[in-house]
Amino acid sequence: MKLTWLGHSAFHLEIKGAVILIDPFFTGNPSFPGNEEAWKRGVTHILLTHGHGDHLGDTVAIARATGAKVVADADLAGYLAHKGVAHVDPMNSGGTTDQGAFRVSMTVAHHSSATLDENGVSHSLGHPHGLVIAAPGEKTLYHAGDTDIFSDMALIDEIYQPKIGILPIGDRFTMGGKVAALAARRFFHFDTVIPCHYATFGLLDATADTFVEAMQGADAKVAVPAVGETLTL
């Protein structure tokens, strides 16, 4: 697989038979590497961890332009259908769906998921999730979404056996680097772990240094791609 970090928690994933965007936050993302047309070209699926604007991002516009199927929490999928997204595939915690070239499972995450209307009133968009992507011939990937550490991560490892992990490390709104490293080391058996959700805004940690330092001596390889860099995994 080819995995490209597009800043914040957004990733572009290429596998045989599918081109996937995860949490495509482009507009308003100061770390997005630009050239949105290039990154949405050929996209077949958009996978969403939750409904906050820095994760929902440009989903509606990209889905309308490409016809990509959007896989999301059931409540969030209903919201997107109301917004004119033609192809939505609703899921929820513990479920798995067959997307043809891959299967995706939703796991629990400890966070929130809501949006504000034009009057500043908050509306729930379902629950936050992690995503597990399994494709034939590829290592299974776990994108934790926005979350704190939780002991049932051990069950995610036992059930799905992900070998590639994407963990938020920015602190304040998610776990920070030291706690994310604890999660990676205690609960998972990753071959490769990739940090995200940092260096986007001033409220978040500016570097992955704390995470990298806390991962020293771990079995998992830590990959810290530059924004726009593609990893072959």
What pLDDT, on the 0 to 100 scale, is given for residue 38? Answer: 94
Q: For 40-95, how does the pLDDT look when each residue is reduced to its tens digit (9 = 90+)?
A: 999 999 999 999 999 999 999 999 999 999 999 999 999 999 999 999 999 999 99
What pLDDT, on the 0 to 100 scale, is given for residue 90? Answer: 98
What pLDDT, on the 0 to 100 scale, is given for residue 78? Answer: 97
Residue partners of 68: CB distance under 8 A and separation at least 6: 21, 43, 44, 45, 46, 62, 87
Q: For 115-161, how does the pLDDT look when each residue is reduced to its tens digit (9 = 90+)?
A: 999 999 999 999 999 999 999 999 999 999 999 999 999 999 999 99
Distance of CA 123 to the CA centre of its chain: 22
What pLDDT, on the 0 to 100 scale, is given for residue 81? Answer: 97
HEC string for the chain: CEEEECCCCCEEEEECCEEEEECCCCCCCCCCCCCHHHHHCCCCEEECCCCCHHHHCCHHHHHHHHCCEEEEEHHHHHHHHHCCCCCEEEECCCCEEECCCCEEEEEECCCCCEEECCCCCEEECCCCEEEEEECCCCCCEEECCCCCCCCCHHHHHHHHCCCEEEEECECCCCCEHHHHHHHHHHHCCCCEEEEECCCCCCCCCCCCHHHHHHCCCCCCEECCCCCCCEEEC
What pLDDT, on the 0 to 100 scale, is given for residue 115? Answer: 94
What pLDDT, on the 0 to 100 scale, is given for residue 185? Answer: 98
Domain residue ranges of the chain, discontinuous segments joined by +? 2-225
pLDDT band at residue 10, thresholds of 50, 70 and 90? very high
What pLDDT, on the 0 to 100 scale, is given for residue 21? Answer: 98
Q: For 153-208, how does the pLDDT look when each residue is reduced to its tens digit (9 = 90+)?
A: 999 999 999 999 999 999 999 999 999 999 999 999 999 999 999 999 999 999 99
Superfamily of domain 2-225 in CATH is Ribonuclease Z/Hydroxyacylglutathione hydrolase-like (3.60.15.10)
Give the torsion sign (CA, 127, 32, 69, 103).
Answer: negative
What pLDDT, on the 0 to 100 scale, is given for residue 79? Answer: 97
pLDDT band at residue 217, thresholds of 50, 70 and 90? very high
